[in-house]
Structures are given as C-alpha cells and as structure tokens.
C-alpha cells in the first residue's frame, strides 16, 4: 500500500506500515492473560474479560507504539503526525469491533454494541491525543 493524497485507504496503510505487530500481540496476550487470571472467580465471565482485555491492549499498544517507534516507516509516522485522529481511527475500529464481537457472543447484542462504541471512542481519543503530542517529534 502506498500513502497517496485523497486515497480512502491512506489511514489503513499508515496504520499497518507503522504498527508494531509483535509488541502489540505480546501486549494483548499478556493483558488478556492477566485479566483472565484476575477474574477466574466469575466463571465463564473470565474468558470474556480476558478476550476483551486482549483486544483493547492489542489496539492501544499497536496504535501508540506505531507513533512512538523509531523503527516504523517514515511516511506512516509523518501521516500520523499530520492527521493524528485519522490515524487513530484504525486502532479504534479494531478495538471497538473486537470488543463488540466478544461482548455480543458472551452477553447481549445491545450491550456489546454500545460497549464497543465506548471502547472505540476511548481508544480513538487516547491514540489520537498521543499521536498529536508525540507524533511531531518522531516524524
């Protein structure tokens, strides 16, 4: 994928070029395992808690790590610094959709949808603000 002006896939290309895949997978797995172990007393709710925490940590670590990493692609970091909230939409979409899917399968449809929207908004604001503050220094 290339970063072109006016291309609808530019935020996706930017996020995938600078996304620290290994770090975000390991962080998501560690966060999910921790939440699973902390909620073992709740029965099957521990599985849902672990999966949703893994998705949220994967998205947060990937989004923030992509902006802060020096090994990331220069064009992707520049795009994230120029358009921080467009860049943050990709991790927010991944985190919100993953949270909603797990919540729908383990709970209710309406609760899963609204929970996914809330998680997506929280990730979008967090990653967008961090990209806005840190992104210009690393570009």
Q: What is the pLDDT of residues 94-117, one digit of tens each?
A: 999 999 999 999 888 999 999 999
Does residue 5 lie in a domain region? no
Q: Mean of the pLDDT values across residues 120-124?
A: 97
Q: Is 80 exceeded by the pLDDT of residue 130?
A: yes
Tokens of 56: 């949220």
Alpha carbons 19 and 13: distance in angstroms, whole number: 10
Does residue 11 lie in a domain region? no
pLDDT of residue 9: 58
Does residue 133 lie in a domain region? yes
List the Cα angle 127/51/77 in 5-degree steps: 25
CA torsion through residues 130, 131, 132, 133, sign: positive
pLDDT of residue 67: 85
pLDDT tens digits for range 48-98:
999 999 999 999 999 998 888 777 667 777 888 888 999 899 999 999 999
Q: How many domains does the chain have?
A: 1
Does residue 8 lie in a domain region? no
pLDDT of residue 137: 65
pLDDT of residue 74: 73
- Structural domain including 38 reads 17-137
């Amino acid at each position: 994928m290339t970063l072109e002006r006016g291309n609808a896939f530019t935020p996706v290309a930017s996020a995938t070029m600078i996304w620290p895949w290994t770090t975000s997978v390991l962080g998501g797995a560690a966060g999910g395992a921790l939440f699973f172990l902390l909620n073992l007393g709740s029965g099957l709710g521990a599985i849902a808690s672990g999966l949703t925490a893994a998705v949220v940590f994967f998205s947060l670590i990937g989004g923030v790590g992509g902006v802060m990493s020096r090994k990331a692609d220069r064009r992707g970091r520049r795009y994230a610094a120029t358009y921080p909230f467009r860049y943050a939409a990709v991790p927010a979409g991944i985190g919100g959709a993953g949270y909603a899917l797990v919540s729908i399968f383990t709970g209710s449809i309406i609760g899963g949808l609204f929970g996914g929207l809330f998680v997506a908004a929280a990730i979008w604001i967090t990653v967008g603000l961090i990209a806005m503050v840190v992104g210009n220094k690393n570009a």
